[in-house]
Amino acid sequence: MQNETDVEQQAINIIDILQEATEMSVVKKIVALKGPKWKASPKVKECIEKNKKAFYAWKQKDRPKNEGNTEYQEMKKHKRELRKQIRKEDHMDKQNFYNKLMNKPDSKAFHRLIRRNKHESKDANSKVIKNDNEKEIMNPEEQSRIFADYYEKLAVPSNEEHYDEEYLEDRKHRLELMNNIIKHQIDTCNITTFSEEEIIKAIGKLNPEKQQMNTHSQQNISSMQVKA
């Protein structure tokens, strides 16, 4: 009859066999982290190298943490300089991005700004913005107007060659007139009406050799096209 020691030893042997079989049958694969690599500037690389050397020197001294230790103070100093340099360059990168977005706005940079703001905390949102004169604006209504003006300029490609400012203003004026007509009731008694025969007779009298400066000519439609 087997004693308790023999049963325990057999259980250990079975566990070892199962572990060995698992290591032989299951392929081990190192999962690599995916994503863009952070590109450090030469100044940051220099700070990283100094920080590594200071940490190694502190480690060789059995990692003392008393304030009077030279290696401990050097390690803290280089670590502080490294963080300061990274934050400084990150701030400069953001500032350059915002300046580029304001000077030469495009849809790609605009969507990049949206993606960046999605990952920022609510505490990072500023309650103060500046207008074109670098004046701080805190009134929510004025801030909304500034944002509306900015995105209107962003949506209108005024820097492109085919952009026509006069045509845009003319369309805005026509739209405003249409909105006023819809919004206000018009007294039909004061509107002059024309019959179909009167309109046809007026079209027949148009001079085919000239384009009159009327509504049709503003839309690049000649009198010959109207007759046709």
Cα separation, 48 vs 81, whole angstroms: 9
Query: Would you say residue 40 has pLDDT above 70?
Result: yes
Whether pLDDT at 33 is above 90: no
| Whole-number pLDDT of residue 12 | 83
Q: Which helix (H) or strand (E) holds 129?
A: strand 129-130
pLDDT band at residue 34 under the 50/70/90 scheme = low
65-85 pLDDT, tens digit each: 888 889 899 999 999 999 999
Task: Report d(CA 134, CA 55) in Å as an integer.
Answer: 45
**Each residue of 55-68: pLDDT tens digit?**
999 988 888 888 88
Structure tokens at 181: 């007509």
Question: Does the pLDDT value for residue 153 go beyond 60?
Answer: yes
Q: Which residue has the higher pLDDT, 10 or 86?
A: 86
More confident: 214 or 66: 66
Reference 102, options 152, 142, 144, 154; nearest CA is: 154
Residue identified by tokens 């495009």 is: 106
Rank 5-9, 176-180, 187-191 by mean pLDDT and report only the highest.
Answer: 176-180
pLDDT at residue 217, as a whole number: 47
Burial label for 57, CB within 10 Å (0-12, 13-18, 19+), is middle
Domain limits of the chain? Answer: 4-25+41-111+133-158
pLDDT at 106: 75
Higher pLDDT, 121 or 84: 84
Confidence of residue 4 (pLDDT cuts 50, 70, 90): low
Higher pLDDT, 63 or 206: 63
pLDDT (0 to 100) of residue 227: 53
* 158 pLDDT above the threshold of 70: no
Average pLDDT across the chain, whole number: 75
Please compute Rg for the chain using Cα positions: 38
Q: Which of 34-38, 50-54, 171-175, 191-195 has the lowest mean pLDDT?
A: 34-38
- What confidence tier does 169 reach under pLDDT thresholds 50, 70, 90? confident
Q: What is the C-alpha to C-alpha distance for residues 132 and 103, in angstroms, rounded to an integer?
A: 12
Mean pLDDT, residues 119-140 taken together: 66
